Amino acid sequence: MKSLPEILKEIRPEFDFTTSNNFMEDGMLDSFDMVTLVSTLDKTYDISIQGTDIVPENFQNLQTIEALLRKCGVQL
Amino acid sequence: MAPINTVSQVFDAIRAVKSAAPAFCTNFFPIERKVQAWIDHGELAGDLRDGTALFFRKDRDFWHLYFCAASPGTLERELISVKSLKTERMVVDLVGNEAALSELLVLLKQAGFRRYSQLQRMARSPESGLPPASTGDAVVTNAEPADREAIVDLLDSSFDRYADQLPARHEIEAAIAGRQMLAIKCGEVLAAVLFFETQGLTSTIRYWAVAESFRSRRFGATLMRGYLQAHAAVRRFILWVVATNENAVQKYQHYGYAPDGLVDHVLANQLIP
């Protein structure tokens, strides 16, 4: 299974997501990328991220996304 | 439709719809500072219904419609009874591919909207390099507050206000203050502008226009080079362009931009010619 940095790299190959603490502020992800990312995470981990969780705060950096995945039952 | 007075009204309404949403759907991805600016200028109204939050943003002589709904079915049910759809000029944008949006496109058509335009996003990597320097003597400067009305006139005459999400005067003022509006002037006359927004490692060209009487003097090329040169640290350049505007698409391709697959379907109601 692909790792989270690998998934992000596929969506936006031009960025190194391990170096940022705020993907939105650093211009690495926008709202459209977030929709793509949610769909990819749903498929990759066989989960369904709830609408209430699709907020920028949950997609700020690797740690917040991992916390969201854990909340959805993914064991990382 | 009632005026929205606080940012929290917007985000609370979205949260309320999401919390009971079996199949949440939206075309609204609000950025807090932009919402605040719309509220500050009295441009934002809302219609909060059962399972649906509708937001209307005033723009010139029409409104942009944004929706958040618990499901497409809920949206369909509520849109039927929105009176302003039949009395006000209204435009709605849906971003995504045709297949994923088919259900929403159908229900918006049933609510009285028709396809009006289609924008495609184009992206460019910095590896494309800088275009060659222009040979002309045009000087790229930052636009000044006194240029505001000339910029409004140039953008309004160069773009389609219904499709291109033209900036309000306060957005132009903010862009000038933020040094995000490059200009070329001939004397005191504005000849060309390039309006961009840069967020971290991504920069978006919002508008690039040369006044008709100043075309064929490579002002556009000079502006583009100035813009790219000033953004050496940016890793991703993007823009939206009307997909059928082959001339514009070719110009952007010349500078290394290519369609990245994201499409914005612009729909207009029957009151828009």
Q: Which pLDDT value is given to residue B99?
A: 85
Interchain contact A19–B (C-beta under 8 A): no
The domain locations on chain B are: 2-88, 126-234
Highest mean pLDDT among A35-49, B89-103, B238-252: B238-252
pLDDT at B134 over 80: no
Closest C-alpha among B263, B203, B205 to residue B236: B203
Q: d(Cα B11, Cα B199) in Å, to the nearest integer? A: 22
- List the domains of chain A with CATH numbers: 4-71 (1.10.1200.10)
**A9-55 pLDDT per residue, tens:** 999 999 999 999 999 999 999 988 998 999 999 999 999 998 888 88
**B27-64 pLDDT per residue, tens:** 999 989 999 999 999 999 999 998 999 999 999 999 99
With a CB cutoff of 8 Å and minimum separation 6, the contacts of B88 are B56, B62, B63, B271
Question: Which residues does chain A have within 8 Å of residue B7's beta carbon, measured at their own beta carbons?
Answer: none
The reply to whether residue A15 touches residue B235, judged by beta carbons under 8 angstroms, is yes
Q: Which pLDDT value is given to residue B125?
A: 92
Q: Which pLDDT value is given to residue B132?
A: 80
If pLDDT is split at 50, 70 and 90, which confidence band does B155 have?
very high
Q: d(Cα A7, Cα A43) in Å, to the nearest integer? A: 11
Strands B62-69 and B25-26: antiparallel
With a CB cutoff of 8 Å and minimum separation 6, the contacts of B188 are none
Kindly tell me the burial class for residue B87, based on how many C-beta atoms sit within 10 Å of its own C-beta (0-12, 13-18, 19 or more): exposed
According to CATH, the topology of domain B126-234 is Aminopeptidase (3.40.630)
ipTM of the modeled complex: 0.85
Q: What is the 3-state secondary structure (H, E, C) of B173-220?
A: HHHHHCCCEEEEEECCEEEEEEEEEEECCEEEEEEEEECHHHCCCCHH
* Mean pLDDT across chain B: 95
Chain A segment 27-56 residues within 8 A of B by beta carbon are 27-28, 30-32, 34-35, 50-52, 54
With a CB cutoff of 8 Å and minimum separation 6, the contacts of B167 are B155, B175, B195, B206, B207
Q: Which pLDDT value is given to residue B129?
A: 82
Question: Which residues does chain B have within 8 Å of residue A27's beta carbon, measured at their own beta carbons?
Answer: 198-203, 234, 236
With a CB cutoff of 8 Å and minimum separation 6, the contacts of A43 are none
The reply to whether residue B201 touches residue A35, judged by beta carbons under 8 angstroms, is no
The reply to whether residue A35 touches residue B96, judged by beta carbons under 8 angstroms, is yes
